[in-house]
Amino acid sequence: MTEHIQYSAEKDALILLDQRYLPNREEWFECQTTEDICYALVVMVVRGAPAIGVTAAYGCYLAGREVQGMDGDWKEFLQSKLGQIHDARPTAVNLRWAVREMQRIWNEAGNITLEDLLPLWLERAKEIHIGDIAMCELIGKFGGALMDDGDTIMTHCNAGALATAGYGTALGVVRGAIDQGKKVSVIANETRPFLQGARLTAYELHKDGIPVKVACDNACALLMKRGLVDKVVVGADRITANGDAVNKIGTFGVAILADRFNIPFYVAAPKYTIDIETPTGEDVPIEDRDPMEVTHIGDHRIPPEGVEVYNLAFDPTPNELIAGIITEEGVLYPPYNESIKKLFSAD
C-alpha cells in the first residue's frame, strides 16, 4: 500500500488519501498551498510520523511554488511559510526534520534563485518519499527476525503503510515476519479517541489478508494475562536521546502491562525519528488536541454539556520498558544512551 501519498506533476499538487474517513469511504485531499498542507497535518488527513515527514517535504516545495510571483522579498515570505509547516504539529520530530532538511539544501545552495531552488526541493521530497518505503522494508526485515512463527503481535495506534510512505514501521515488522515465511496475526488496539487501530490498522491489514482482531484499549491486561499476546510492537513519533519513545496516548500503559506479563515490547521507527537533541521523553511537548475528538462520536455528544475532558495525544514510554528499538540500520538494545550514540557516531 503506497498510493495514499501521491505527487501529481500534472496538477503540481500533493494528493493524500484522507484518513479521517477510512474505512467507510476513500476520499482524496489535494494540497497546493501551505494552508492546505498545514490543514492536512493538523486535522489528520495524514498522520503517522514518517508520513508527516514526507508530507512536510512536499509542503516546502509547494510553499516555494506559492511564493513565486509574489511582490516583495521572496526569501522572507518563504521562510515564514516554512515556519508555518514546521510548527503545524508539535510532537512528531519527522516534520521538523523534513523542514530542516529543505532548509539545509537552501542554505548550502548559497545565493540561489527561487526558480533554481524549487527543482532541488522537489527532487529531495521525492527521494524522501521513496527512501521512506525502503527504510520501512529494512525495519521489517530486522524486526521480522525477532518475531516467531505463530506469534500474535499486539500494536497500538496505526504504524502501518498509512502512517508512512508505504509498508509501515510496526506493521512493517508484521509484514517482514510474513515475508520470512512466518505465520503471525495481529491484535489492533482500537486507540481512542481517534480510533487509528480500529479504523486504520484493521483496514490495511484486512485489505492485505493479514489476520487481525480489534480489541478495546482497556482489554489489554486480560488478553495478556490469558496468554493471547506474544509480542508488542508499536511505532513512535519521537524517540529521545535516552531511548524513551513518545507514541500515541495509551502506549505507556500497554508497555507497563507488557512488562508485568513478561511480554517483549518493541518500538519500530526510522533513524530520523530519533531526536538526539532532546534528552528524555519528559522533555517532548505533548500535543493537546481538540476536546471534540473525545466528547463526540460524529455529531453525537457523549459526556454532558459543560464537562471538560483530557485529550493529550501522546505519552512517553520510559526506555526501561523497551526490549529493543528496531531501525533500518538494525536493532538497538539497552543501554540506549550508548546504542543511540553509537548509531549516530557512524554518520
Tens digits of per-residue pLDDT, 25-43?
A: 999 999 999 999 999 999 9
Q: Are residues 130 and 153 in the same domain?
A: no
Could you tell me the CATH number of the domain that includes residue 231? 3.40.50.10470
As annotated, the active-site residues are 237
User: How many Cα atoms are found within 13 Å in the side-chain-facing hemisphere of 307?
Assistant: 9
Q: Which of 69, 103, 136 marks a domain boundary?
A: 136
Look at residue 71 in the predicted model and tell me its pLDDT: 75
Pick 189 or 72 by higher pLDDT. Answer: 189
For 47, the grid coordinates are: 498522520
Look at residue 69 in the predicted model and tell me its pLDDT: 76
pLDDT band at 92 (very low <50, low <70, confident <90, very high): confident
Nearest to 128 by CA among 104, 97, 91, 86: 97
Q: Are residues 282 and 306 in the same domain?
A: yes
Once rounded to an integer, what is the mean pLDDT over residues 122-144? Answer: 98
User: How many Cα atoms are found within 13 Å in the side-chain-facing hemisphere of 225?
Assistant: 5
Q: Are residues 146 and 118 in the same domain?
A: no
Q: Which of 105, 136, 167 marks a domain boundary?
A: 136
Place of cell 510512505: 165
Q: How far apart are CA 150 and CA 147, in angstroms?
A: 9
Once rounded to an integer, what is the mean pLDDT over residues 236-252? Answer: 98
Q: How far apart are CA 36 and CA 123, in angstroms?
A: 21
Could you tell me the CATH number of the domain that includes residue 109? 1.20.120.420
Query: Are the CB atoms for 15 and 6 separated by under 8 Å?
Result: yes
Q: Are residues 122 and 211 in the same domain?
A: no
- Render pLDDT for 139-196 as a digit per residue (tens, 0 to 9): 999 999 999 999 999 999 999 999 999 999 999 999 999 999 999 999 999 999 999 9
Positive or negative torsion for Cα 296, 21, 252, 129: negative
With a CB cutoff of 8 Å and minimum separation 6, the contacts of 156 are 189, 191, 197, 217, 232, 234, 247, 248, 250, 251, 254
Inter-axis angle of helices 114-144 and 93-109, nearest 10 = 140
Q: How far apart are CA 136 and CA 141, in angstroms?
A: 9
Q: Is the peptide bond before 291 cis (omega within 30 degrees of 0)?
A: no
Q: What percent of the chain has pLDDT over 90?
A: 95
Q: Which of 117, 136, 155 marks a domain boundary?
A: 136
Main-chain dihedrals φ then ψ at residue 186, nearest 5 degrees: -125, 140
Q: Is 124 exposed, middle or buried (0-12, 13-18, 19+ CB in 10 A)?
A: buried
Q: Are residues 231 and 334 in the same domain?
A: yes
Query: Are the CB atoms for 273 and 49 separated by under 8 Å?
Result: yes
Q: How far apart are CA 164 and CA 49, in angstroms?
A: 7
Q: How far apart are CA 282 and CA 316, in angstroms?
A: 7
Query: Are the CB atoms for 340 and 241 separated by under 8 Å?
Result: yes
For 144, the grid coordinates are: 521480522
Q: Are residues 326 and 269 in the same domain?
A: yes
Query: Binding site for substrate: which residues?
Result: 47-49, 89, 196, 247-248
Amino acid at 145: A
Q: Taking the model in full, what pTM does it have?
A: 0.94
Look at residue 179 in the predicted model and tell me its pLDDT: 98
Give the structural domain span for 61: 5-136
Q: Are residues 160 and 131 in the same domain?
A: no
Our count of domains for the chain comes to 2
Q: Are residues 17 and 58 in the same domain?
A: yes
With a CB cutoff of 8 Å and minimum separation 6, the contacts of 310 are 294
For 29, the grid coordinates are: 485531499
Q: How far apart are CA 228 and CA 318, in angstroms?
A: 24
Q: Are residues 79 and 194 in the same domain?
A: no
Place of cell 493471547: 228
pLDDT band at 1 (very low <50, low <70, confident <90, very high): low
CA 296 from centre of chain: 24
